[in-house]
């Protein structure tokens, strides 16, 4: 499959369209209209802020926004019952995805709170994080499945791992000689079907924009059902 990349102008216009559509959706859905949540789009990724009463409300918002055509990911810094989310940003360098994220990297930097070699795992206790960002990280690791398992261990049940990696057919995938692995949407499907040692992943959302593979993966609980064939068919062959 081939994907058409957007020009910068089309990206800007498309983000404006998606933001307006998301605002209309939140206002029209009786389950969502009274929630204190704001949304904006950047590069096809939804950014949610605000407050909700519980995890179920946040999950409904994420799922509703993710159903809009053209969405590549659903990210948030939404407070649950007044509590700020605990968000790890692994391999963050000097550019965390949100201010306030806890940065982990193998080299010290202004955004790095913990210096750690991701090949050795995450020096974080079990069930400690609500979200983890792995933005242009996995392609640099020979054994990234080990890190995926570590993310599952560190996330609380229902927590979300946000992955971005270069799409294998784009020049960015091969232009960087430090890239050791290549990604497609089918790779994300394989991760979700991989048994792993820590647990299963539920694909909340997955997409490709012609340059980057996006995935929002939920750390499934032991008794959670598998995703339905219809849900998987939204993202994967």
The pLDDT tens digits for 4-25 are 778 899 999 999 999 999 999 9
Alpha carbons 64 and 11: distance in angstroms, whole number: 21
The tokens of 41 are what? 């789009």
Alpha carbons 165 and 176: distance in angstroms, whole number: 12
- Can 1-83 and 86-237 be said to share one CATH topology? no
pLDDT mean over 166-192: 96
Residue 171 binned pLDDT confidence (cut-offs 50, 70, 90):
very high
Q: Identify whether the C-beta of residue 18 lies closer than 8 Å to the C-beta of residue 44.
A: yes
CATH of 1-83, one of 3.30.1340.30, 3.30.1320.10, 3.20.20.210, 3.30.460.10: 3.30.1340.30
Alpha carbons 152 and 221: distance in angstroms, whole number: 10
Most confident of 49-53, 96-100, 192-196: 49-53
Give the percent of the chain with pLDDT over 90.
89
> Domain 86-237 adopts which CATH fold?
Rossmann fold (3.40.50)
Alpha carbons 38 and 78: distance in angstroms, whole number: 9
Alpha carbons 237 and 60: distance in angstroms, whole number: 25
Radius of gyration of the chain (CA): 17
List the chain domain ranges: 1-83, 86-237
Q: Distance of CA 134 to CAs 12, 47, 91, 110, 235, Å?
A: 24, 16, 7, 18, 20
Residue 181 scores a pLDDT above 80: yes
Alpha carbons 111 and 116: distance in angstroms, whole number: 13
The string of DSSP codes covering 134-173 is EES-GGG-TTHHHHHHHHHHHEEEEEEEEEEEEBTTSHHH
pLDDT mean over 37-43: 97
Residue 149 binned pLDDT confidence (cut-offs 50, 70, 90):
very high
- Predicted model pTM: 0.95
**What is the pLDDT at residue 2?**
62
**What is the pLDDT at residue 221?**
84
């Amino acid at each position: 499959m081939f994907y058409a990349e957007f020009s910068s102008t089309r990206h800007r216009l498309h983000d404006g369209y998606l933001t307006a559509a998301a605002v209309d959706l939140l206002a029209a859905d009786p389950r969502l209209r009274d929630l204190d949540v704001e949304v904006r789009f950047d590069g096809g990724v939804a950014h949610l802020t605000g407050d909700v009463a519980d995890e179920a409300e946040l999950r409904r918002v994420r799922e509703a926004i993710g159903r809009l055509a053209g969405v590549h990911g659903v990210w948030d810094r939404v407070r649950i019952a007044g509590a700020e989310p605990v968000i790890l940003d692994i391999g963050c360098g000097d550019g965390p995805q949100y201010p306030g994220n806890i940065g982990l990297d193998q080299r010290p930097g202004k955004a790095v709170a913990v210096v750690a070699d991701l090949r050795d795992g995450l020096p974080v206790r079990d069930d400690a994080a609500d979200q983890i960002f792995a933005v242009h990280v996995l392609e640099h690791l020979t054994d990234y499945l080990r890190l995926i398992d570590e993310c599952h261990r560190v996330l609380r049940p229902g927590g979300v791992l946000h992955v971005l990696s270069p799409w294998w057919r784009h020049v960015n995938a091969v232009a960087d000689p430090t890239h050791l692995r290549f990604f497609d949407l089918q790779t994300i499907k394989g991760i979700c079907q991989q048994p792993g040692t820590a647990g299963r992943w539920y694909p909340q959302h997955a997409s490709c924009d012609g340059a980057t593979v996006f995935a929002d993966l939920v750390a499934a609980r032991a008794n959670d059902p598998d995703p339905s064939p219809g849900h998987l068919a939204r993202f994967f062959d």
